[in-house]
Structure 1
């Protein structure tokens, strides 16, 4: 299995997690590839029974596809944690490095790495780390975009992509941050939060990739 196919599977999983319909166009936009390239890859994944077509969702991962995605996330998230804890990588450096390593290291290496790290449950971005042989089940699943009431919340997870990571760091938004949701503006599609003596209006598109819990 090539890294390219693995990246497609992860993208399909992440789109599905947002609740968006998984279309070839959206896959192409997120992966920054051409529409014909997506069409060709989707045909291969359908043939190999990693995904199936669905009228509502667009595509769904099969058990076989979900198993592959689970393995990828286990590798990626353990590698990220190792890079931060043992090699002093910054959070904006780890993603690209982990993307490369997840395709090259062996399962035996990852098993040993998990032990070294003390069998952690979460990655640096708050994502759940599945145990060997178990399905990927995200503990933190409520997005900021799904919140309907103002009040006090805590940042518990955000999606692992470079642009979002940069946005979070630029605005001082870190895992564990407590904040007050001041306003939900349906017309402007923004969520205004207050934290550390400052306010920030977060666009709905970004709010869909940030996960929170009530305080």
Structure 2
């Protein structure tokens, strides 16, 4: 399987393509690719029986696709946890390294790494880490973009995207921050939130807001 196909399976998993249908637009925003590229790749994944695509409804993982996705996500996020916890990497720097390491990681090595790290349930940017049997804790699929003005939420996780993590490192927004939606600019403009602990106002781009997940 090519790294690009693996990236698609991982993003569909992250966006909730087990419990619900994911749109082409959500995948395009998550990966930072053109809508036409998504259509082409989804057709290939459908042919390989890794995803199901229902026109006008969306995309979801098959059982086989989910199995591949959980294995990939597990290896990737275990390495992210190792890099941050043991090698003091910054959150914005871990994705490219973990992307390389996951492809060279056997199940045996993943299990040993999991034990060494004392079985973490979440990676440093809040993403869930499946166990060796593919089981994982429930996660929120409510994006910041869907939070209405004056609603108070807690930041749960960021999509595993290098550009996003670099961008967020400059905003001051962190996992577990309690925030309130203030204003959605029209025409795909930024979303302004206020961080409750210090009342700081933070502008988040339209694209980033679709890749930040929160819970009430």
TM-score bin (small chain): 0.7 to 0.9
**Cα 1:148–1:19, aligned 2, differ >3 Å: closer, same or farther?**
farther
Deviations 1:28-81 (A, max 9, x none): 993658957973x54543332112331134433211011101111111111100
Structure 1's 210 and 19: CA in aligned 2 closer, same or farther, altered over 3 A? Answer: farther
Q: Aligned with 2:10: secondary structure?
A: helix
Superposition pairs of residues 1-215 of structure 1, within 5 angstroms: 1-14=1-14, 20-22=22-24, 27=28, 30=31, 32=33, 39=40, 41-135=41-135, 138-148=138-148, 150-181=150-181, 183-185=182-184, 187=186, 190-195=190-195, 196-214=198-216
Identify unmatched segments of 5+ residues in structure 1.
none
**Is the Cα contact below 8 Å between 1:82 and 1:117 reproduced in 2?**
yes
Q: Evaluate the alpha carbon distance shift between residue 113 and residue 19 of structure 1 in structure 2; reply closer, same or farther with a 3 A threshold.
A: same
Higher RCO (C-alpha under 8 Å, 6+ residues apart): 2
CA distance in structure 2 between the partners assigned to 1:44 and 1:20 by the alignment: 16
**Structure 2 unaligned blocks of 5 or more:** none
- Cα RMSD between the aligned structures? 3.1
Q: TM-score, normalised by structure 1?
A: 0.81
5-14 or 139-148: bigger deviation: 5-14
Q: In 2, are the aligned partners of 1:142 and 1:212 still within 8 Å (CA)?
A: yes
Greater mean deviation of Cα atoms: 67-76 or 43-52? 43-52
CA distance in structure 2 between the aligned counterparts of 1:186 and 1:73, rounded to whole angstroms? 34
Contact 2:149–2:180 (CA under 8 A) maintained in structure 1: no
Using structure 2 for the length normalisation, give the TM-score.
Answer: 0.81
Aligned length: 211
